[in-house]
Chain A
Amino acid sequence: MINKIWFFMIIIGMLVAIATNNIQIINDVVIKNTQEAVGFAIGLTGIMAVWLGLMNVAEKSGLIKRIGKIMSPFIRLLFPQIPKNHPAISSMVMNMVANMFGAGNSATALGLKAMEQLQSINPVKTRATNAMCMFLVINMSSIQLIPLSVLKIRADAGSVNPTEIIGTSLVATTVSTVVGIIACKILERKY
């Protein structure tokens, strides 16, 4: 699916650029955006190293196992295929907590660790498991408690009450997470 989407995004973009006599923009994008991607990955390296280092400490000390044990009953409702006390549980929980508090790249590092651990119990390595799909959908519909960047824009624009949208955001994000979970549970039987 991503194969087709990728193809059509590029081809449709090309056609529109040609039709609007805007083709020079493509050349700029090829240089600028790919550079940005590399910069982004390099920027991520430092924070990845920090969290993977800390996760290794937590693994060796047995902390990961402990979090896994405590969270197992809750996580098993959403991810029934993950074995009890599996290390992936702790990584997923830590990723969700980091996401909730808007920790950005730290959350990504923990999430990638969780994916790696989920991959270790995946029987078909090129095909996503139900647990992976569920984890990603929850991650992408992220219940974020404080959308800091939005608050800043609102405050800068002179809003009377910049934080009034925290409540509405929480409602909307909860709805979207619940819909995502239900969609996953229904769709995983079809695909």
Chain B
Amino acid sequence: MVKILNFLSIMIIPIMITIILVYGMIKKINIYEAFVEGAGEGFKTAVRIMPYLIAIFLAIGIFKDSGALNLFTKIISPITNFFGIPREVLPLAIMRPVSGSGALGIVKDLIHTYGPDSFIGRVASTMMGSAETIFYTMAIYFGAVGIKMGRHTLLAALLSHLAAVIASVLICKFMF
């Protein structure tokens, strides 16, 4: 099963590219011209999302590197203890929606300290594999099309992240 999934994850992009190009050839369109024409748009999009990326990287950087994130973790730990979330993985739970590379760093650290096959190590791995970076995704997706009012997106995303965190702890308790 794992081998099949692994193979598929390597193959998915080549498969998609091949299907698109072969289908285009069968339908007898000028695929080269169409590709180049579409590719030109890529630059516009990259330039359009750049200011949003800078804004969000700046805020995340200041919040994280100043130590505010650590402080925040300490403040909310009594609440999360109540839900049975181990104190050790709390920084990861908070970092995950904010910064992907930051979260990966914490996972590395936790696995190094507690071991990959410890309960903490397994919960951390599960959590990392089941969540996504919320703030930057929202910033570039909405930024790229000029949406100012994101409405309930952030709240729903944070609720779904909270569910991922609690589910990670519970499933690891149950499985291991």
Contact = CB atoms under 8 A, between A and B. Distances in A.
A77 interface: no
B76 interface: no
A9 B151 contact: no
Contacts of A119: 145-147
Contacts of A94: 16
Given A62-B27, A187-B155, A53 B171 contact: no
Nearest to A17: B66
> What size tier do the contact residues of chain B reach?
35 or more
Contact of B13 (A46, A98, A127, A165): A98
Contacts of B34: 53, 56-57, 59-60
Contact of A141 (B59, B121, B131, B155): B131
Interface size of A as a range: 35 or more
A39 B8 CA distance: 29
Contacts of A70: none
Interface in A115-173: 115-116, 118-119, 125-128, 132-133, 136-137, 139-142, 144-150, 153-154, 157-173
Given A10-B59, A50-B39, A101-B12, A63 B151 contact: no
Given A26-B66, A150-B125, A103 B53 contact: no
Contacts, number: 359
Interface of A is mostly: helix
B160 A6 contact: no
Nearest to B168: A172
B79 interface: no
Contact of A115 (B127, B141, B161): B141
Interface string B61-92: 11111111001000000000000000000000
Given A33-B58, A153-B108, A16 B150 contact: no
B80 to A, nearest CB: 16
Given A33-B61, A127-B147, A57 B156 contact: no
B54 A56 contact: no
Interface in A41-56: 41-42, 44-46, 48-56
29 contacts: A9-B63, A17-B68, A30-B62, A33-B57, A34-B58, A41-B53, A44-B49, A49-B39, A49-B41, A53-B35, A54-B35, A56-B39, A57-B29, A59-B38, A125-B146, A127-B149, A137-B157, A140-B133, A140-B138, A141-B157, A147-B129, A147-B130, A157-B115, A164-B122, A166-B129, A173-B131, A176-B163, A180-B156, A184-B156
Interface of A: 1-2, 5-6, 9-10, 12-17, 20, 22, 25-26, 28-30, 32-34, 36-38, 40-42, 44-46, 48-63, 94, 97-98, 101-103, 106, 108-109, 111-112, 115-116, 118-119, 125-128, 132-133, 136-137, 139-142, 144-150, 153-154, 157-173, 175-180, 183-184, 187-188, 190-191
Interface of B: 2, 5-6, 8-9, 12-13, 16-17, 19-21, 23-24, 26-27, 29, 31, 34-43, 45-47, 49-50, 53-68, 71, 104, 107-108, 111-112, 115-117, 121-122, 125-135, 137-142, 144-157, 159-164, 167-168, 171-172, 175-176
